[in-house]
């Protein structure tokens, strides 16, 4: 079960909503800084020799987004925190891609509303899974939410984005990519849980039990 520290009424909730959104925005900025155009695809296919499309989403984009999403969910302490952070994350990516006219995001449509829809869906899934597992222990909640949302994100890309840009994923690559996706989600969930217990009081740290 999760106990929320509810400091004060509406103003406190708005402040926490703002912080949840900012966590997503910061995460988006960090992601764009760390992975310039072409780096993700090169890392996945040339270095790790993972099949595609979807390896970058499963192993990097999804887990990084989920880390921010879960932290934001911890801060807000109610349904919607994960979705807010997801919108912040993807919105930041879209805005920066558009402003800087970044190249290299065509395959995953990083600079398009489709990307906001994909990450937003991931955040909503995380919210739903966190709500559905509210009677479970915190580590399990984070693990299930992260793994489930990461797989949902990958499926979104496979079904709605990649067919427009890169083509359909091959059936024989699906098990490998799903396994990678699950592993990435679990790592993100574990890190998210650990960090959610260590965030300073200014971010309205919750006591998770």
Partner 1 sequence: MCGPADFEALQTCIVRVLALSSAGLGTYVVRQTVQALSDLRGKKPERLEAVPAADSCDVLARGGHAEYSSR
Q: Which residues bind partner 1 (CB under 8 A)?
A: 30, 33-43, 45-47, 56, 104-108, 110, 165-166
Mention every residue, 6+ apart, whose C-beta is less than 8 A from residue 163.
none
User: Smallest distance from the beta carbon of 160 to partner 1, in angstroms?
Assistant: 17
By beta-carbon proximity to partner 1, the closer residue of 32 and 130 is 32
Q: What is the torsion angle, in degrees rounded to the nearest 10, for the CA atoms of residue 21, residue 24, residue 28 and residue 30? A: 110
Nearer to partner 1, 30 or 178 (CB): 30
Q: How far is the CB of 78 from partner 1 (least distance, A)?
A: 29
Residue 72 C-beta: closest distance to partner 1, Å: 19
| Pairwise CA distance, residues 147 & 125, whole Å | 10
* Least distance from partner 1 to the Cβ atom of residue 22, Å: 18
* Residue nearer to partner 1 on the CB measure, 56 or 81: 56
CA count, 13 A, side-chain hemisphere, 172: 1
Q: What is the DSSP letter of 35?
A: S
- CB nearer to partner 1: give 103 or 132: 103
Write the CA distances from 175 to 124, 153, 165, 167, integer angstroms: 25, 16, 22, 17
């Amino acid at each position: 079960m999760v106990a929320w520290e509810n400091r004060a009424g509406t103003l406190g909730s708005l402040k926490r909503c703002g912080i949840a959104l900012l966590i997503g925005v910061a995460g988006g900025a960090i992601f764009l800084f760390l992975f310039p155009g072409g780096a993700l695809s090169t890392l996945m296919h040339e270095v790790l020799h993972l099949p595609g499309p979807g390896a970058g989403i499963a192993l990097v984009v999804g887990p990084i987004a989920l880390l921010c999403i879960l932290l934001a969910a911890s801060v807000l302490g109610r349904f919607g925190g994960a979705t807010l952070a997801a919108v912040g994350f993807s919105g930041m990516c879209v805005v920066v891609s558009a402003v800087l006219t970044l190249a290299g995001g065509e395959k995953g449509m990083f600079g398009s509303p489709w990307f906001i829809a994909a990450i937003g869906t991931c955040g909503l899934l995380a919210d739903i899974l966190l709500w559905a597992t509210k009677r479970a222990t915190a580590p399990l909640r984070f693990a299930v939410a992260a793994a489930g949302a990461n797989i949902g994100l990958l499926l979104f890309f496979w079904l709605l984005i990649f067919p427009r840009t890169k083509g359909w994923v091959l059936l024989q690559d699906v098990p490998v990519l799903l396994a990678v996706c699950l592993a990435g989600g679990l790592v993100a969930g574990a890190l998210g849980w650990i960090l959610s217990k260590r965030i300073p009081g200014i971010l309205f740290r919750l006591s998770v039990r």
